[in-house]
Amino acid sequence: MRAPMLREVLRRLEKAYGWPPNAEEFTAMLAKAKGLGPLGTLIAIVLTQNTNDKNANVALERLYEISDGLSRKKLLAMSIEEIANAIRVSGMQRQKARTIKAIVQGFDETTLMSEDPETLAKKLLSTPGIGPKTADVFLLMVRGYPTFPIDTHCRRVLTRLGFIRRGEKYEAIREAVIKELGRDREALLKLHTLLITHGRRICTARKPRCGECPLSDICPKVGVDEG
Ligand code: SF4
């Protein structure tokens, strides 16, 4: 079976899960909904690295409380230890604290919003602890720049759908998705969040529930043991 068209995948997932998603399930969206601004939202995205959004939300709340609402001035004055203690629940707290410190030292609200997206992407990627996924989530969700962030759920579902090969490079996946969907910001954002929701609820890492999946009849189920 050939890989299905992403537009069809998107149509079916949107029908199954609805749109927009509950902001509580996506820390970056929650940060935006709470009016945190670009700096606060970028910090929120860093907090989601290697953890679930529930833990990231708790860490964000704690950091918010002790930093005068994620004030840049306050965060600049805080030590790595103070930041790490506040965000401990999200894991890798020292590394994330160092990244947060580097962010407030290197960026402010104005540069994050006014810098040309390509230049900003390069600057973000040269910041310790910021990789392509974190940069892409920020560019797509905050700047509205048409890119495609790939997390573990997106990668797994796209692999099982036969859209990408196992172990495909991040940049190659992003390019392939954009090639098919075009620079359609809304479609890219929807596909990103809906693949995550699908990976959390149905196409889970272990024992995906193919029998309940709205994509079952068009999915080649690459690498899935249906026994
Ligand atoms: S049919 Fe199975 S492998 Fe394919 S997307 Fe659905 S749950 Fe995942």
Domain boundaries, the chain: 6-21+147-218, 34-141
Residues in the chain: 227
Measured CA distances, 175 to 54, 78, 86, 150, 169 (Å) = 30, 39, 37, 11, 10
Q: Tens digits of per-residue pLDDT, 8-60?
A: 999 999 999 999 999 989 999 999 898 999 999 999 999 999 999 999 999 99
Please give the mean pLDDT across all residues of the chain: 96
- For ligand 1, residues with CB inside 6 Å are 157, 160-161, 202-203, 208-210, 213, 215-216, 219, 221, 224
pLDDT, position 120? 98
Given a cut of 80, is residue 226 above it in pLDDT? no
**Which ligand 1 atom minimizes the distance to the CA of 202?**
7
Q: Which of 216, 225, 226 to mutate to test the pocket of ligand 1 (most atoms within 8 A of CB)?
A: 216
The mean pLDDT value for 63-81 works out to: 96
pLDDT recorded at residue 39: 97
Is residue 1 pLDDT above 90, yes or no?
Answer: no
The single residue listed with the structure tokens 């172990």 is 167
Decide if 93 contacts 87 (C-beta within 8 A): yes
- Probe ligand 1: pick from 9, 154, 213, 225, max atoms within 8 Å of CB? 213
- Cα of 176 from ligand 1 centre, angstroms: 20
Confidence check: pLDDT of 227 > 70:
no
What is the fold of 6-21+147-218? Answer: Endonuclease Iii, domain 2 (1.10.1670)
CB–CB of 149/192 below 8 Å?
Answer: yes
Specify the pTM: 0.95
- By CB atoms closer than 10 A (0-12, 13-18, 19+), residue 211 is exposed
Are the CB atoms for 46 and 96 separated by under 8 Å? yes
Question: By three-state DSSP, how is residue 203 classified?
Answer: coil
∠ CA(7), CA(51), CA(83), 5° rounding? Answer: 130
Whether residue 140 has pLDDT greater than 70: yes
pLDDT of residue 144: 96
**Amino acid, single-letter form, for residue 130:** I
CA distance 24 to 67: 21
CATH assignment of 34-141?
A: 1.10.340.30
Distance 208 CA to ligand 1 centre (A): 6
Nearest protein Cα to ligand 1, atom 8? 203
Return the residue whose CA atom lies nearest to atom 1 of ligand 1: 216
Q: Residue 11: which H helix or E strand, with range?
A: helix 6-17
* Structure-block tokens of residue 102: 């580097």
Mean pLDDT computed over 181-204? 98
Residue 134's Cβ-side half-sphere holds a number of Cα atoms within 13 Å equal to 25
Beta-carbon contacts of residue 84 (< 8 Å; ≥ 6 apart): 93, 94, 96, 97
